[in-house]
């Protein structure tokens, strides 16, 4: 059974408080100058716009939108947003709410886009506008928002029994949303000279899964392409079955999945197809509180994290980094160990994602920011940061070295 951290009465009070705070933040954004304007016509430069997509749909059936910004350079970042994942009936029935986050209850994916979710998508980290410290300020951006729980690859409506016992449906239509978003990108950014295909959390998995489609269907002539995944690691033995039978993903998406490490399988397939035509980058914290929580939920039915689970995550991360380097020695790595200080059950863990958080501009122990590392990489200066955090401890084991 999934564990809960509070007495029932206190948990209920805290859940109400979390939901209240989320509503108030949403109300503060909605209808104010903080809310991104809806795009009508041609976008002005360096302004974020909200773009509703008529054929898009969120997991709960509500309206779907993306965010777009026209820069001053002909460089385009296609960014896949994160927001959890649902891999079975139990997880599908437990979407994210502010109250569940605060109380540490099982909450596995965002199933809609509400005013609150804007603060997770734009104007933070790499998406900040008007600040000299952001080297990507002048880039064009398409942020493909996420509210379907299917790593952006689903093509199926899935029936399940909700937590209240009622029958419900989640629309695993992430791939439909992706296609509609890319049509928008082609209209506004028809011929970029440089592409950065990036994503965090669930979006990190989408990067290797959907880069082939981006390059084949939408930007076949672009020769300057960088792929970057921030914080995508979750071992699960049924990924292929989930992608094929629950999400309804296309065969070219589920067939490369041959192990319990879905992001490694997708990057292996990508590297085999494109080789050195692309730049490859990966980032993570060493004891990711959220990914370790999800791993514990998958394997132990316990939606929590602790030192033991975080150590297991570190071992998995060490293996992933080694295997990504085996794909190509030029696979650039950025590691950090910034402590998680937020709500929920992340005590002792490190942060989850940095590219769209203030951490993007924070120096790690090596005095290097993720912003500088990523900007250098897209300009053909690929190196590793923080590899010493994963030096194997076994006697005689080979040590990592910084490039």
Per-residue pLDDT of the chain (403 residues; tens, 9 = 90+): 444 444 545 444 444 444 445 555 545 656 655 789 999 999 999 999 999 999 999 999 999 999 999 999 999 999 999 999 999 999 999 998 765 655 667 889 999 998 878 888 999 999 999 888 999 999 999 999 999 999 999 999 999 887 778 899 999 999 999 999 999 999 999 999 999 999 999 999 999 999 999 999 999 999 999 999 999 999 999 999 999 999 999 999 999 999 999 999 999 999 999 999 999 999 999 999 999 999 999 999 999 999 999 999 999 999 999 999 999 999 999 999 999 987 666 578 999 999 999 999 999 888 999 999 999 999 999 999 999 999 665 544 334 333 3
The CA–CA distances, whole Å, from 211 to 37, 137, 138, 231 equal: 29, 23, 23, 17
Predicted model pTM:
0.90
φ/ψ of 252, rounded to 5, equals -70, -15
Residue 154 main-chain phi, psi, to 5 deg: -75, 155
- Could you confirm whether domain 8-390 is CATH 3.40.50? yes
Within the chain, what is the greatest distance between any pair of CA atoms? 63
Alpha carbons 118 and 122: distance in angstroms, whole number: 6
Alpha-carbon gap, residue 52 to 72, rounded angstroms: 23
> What residues does each domain of the chain span?
8-390
Inter-CA distances, 94 with 128, 172, 208, 317, 365, Å: 31, 14, 27, 27, 37
Which two tokens mark 135? 């080297």
Helix (H, G, I), strand (E, B) or coil at 338: coil
Q: Which residues contact 321 (CB under 8 A, 6 or more apart)?
A: 282, 333, 335, 387, 390
CA angle 31, 40, 195 (to 5 degrees): 105
Helix (H) or strand (E) holding 335: strand 332-336
Contacts with 403 (C-beta within 8 Å, 6 or more apart), sequence order? 382, 383, 384
Calpha distance 401→385 (Å, rounded): 10
């Amino acid at each position: 059974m999934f564990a809960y951290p509070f007495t029932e009465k206190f948990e209920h009070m805290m859940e109400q408080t979390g939901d209240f705070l989320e509503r108030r933040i949403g109300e503060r954004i909605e209808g104010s100058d903080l809310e991104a304007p809806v795009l009508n016509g041609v976008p002005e430069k360096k302004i974020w716009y909200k773009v509703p997509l008529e054929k898009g749909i969120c997991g709960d059936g509500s309206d779907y939108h993306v965010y777009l910004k026209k820069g001053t350079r002909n460089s385009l970042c296609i960014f896949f947003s994160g927001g959890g994942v649902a891999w079975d009936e139990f997880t599908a029935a437990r979407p994210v709410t502010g109250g569940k986050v605060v109380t540490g209850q099982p909450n596995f994916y965002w199933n809609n886009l509400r005013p609150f979710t804007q603060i997770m998508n734009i104007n933070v980290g790499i998406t900040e506008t008007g600040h000299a410290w952001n080297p990507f300020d002048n880039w064009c951006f398409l942020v493909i928002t996420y509210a379907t729980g299917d790593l952006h690859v689903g093509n199926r409506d899935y029936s399940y029994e909700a937590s209240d016992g009622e029958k419900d449906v989640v629309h695993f239509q992430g791939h439909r949303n992706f296609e509609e978003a890319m049509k928008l990108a082609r209209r506004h950014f028809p011929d970029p000279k440089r592409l950065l295909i990036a994503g965090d959390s669930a979006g990190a998995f989408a990067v290797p899964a959907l880069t082939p489609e981006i390059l084949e269907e939408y930007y076949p002539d672009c020769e300057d392409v960088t792929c970057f995944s921030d914080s995508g690691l979750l071992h699960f033995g049924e990924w292929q079955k989930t992608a094929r039978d629950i999400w309804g993903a296309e065969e070219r998406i589920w067939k490369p999945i041959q192990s319990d490490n879905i992001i490694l399988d997708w990057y292996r397939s990508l590297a085999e197809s494109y080789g050195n035509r692309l730049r490859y980058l990966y980032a993570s914290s060493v004891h990711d509180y959220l990914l370790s929580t999800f791993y514990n939920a998958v394997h132990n039915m316990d939606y929590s994290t602790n030192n033991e689970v975080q150590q297991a995550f570190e071992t998995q991360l060490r293996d992933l980094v080694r295997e990504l380097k085996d794909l190509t020695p030029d696979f650039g790595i950025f590691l950090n160990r910034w402590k998680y200080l937020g709500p929920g059950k992340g005590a002792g863990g490190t942060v989850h994602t940095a590219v769209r958080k203030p951490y993007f501009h924070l120096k790690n122990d090596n005095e290097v920011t993720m912003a500088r590392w990523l900007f250098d990489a897209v300009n053909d200066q690929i190196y590793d940061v923080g590899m010493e955090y994963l030096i194997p401890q076994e006697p005689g084991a080979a040590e990592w070295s910084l490039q």
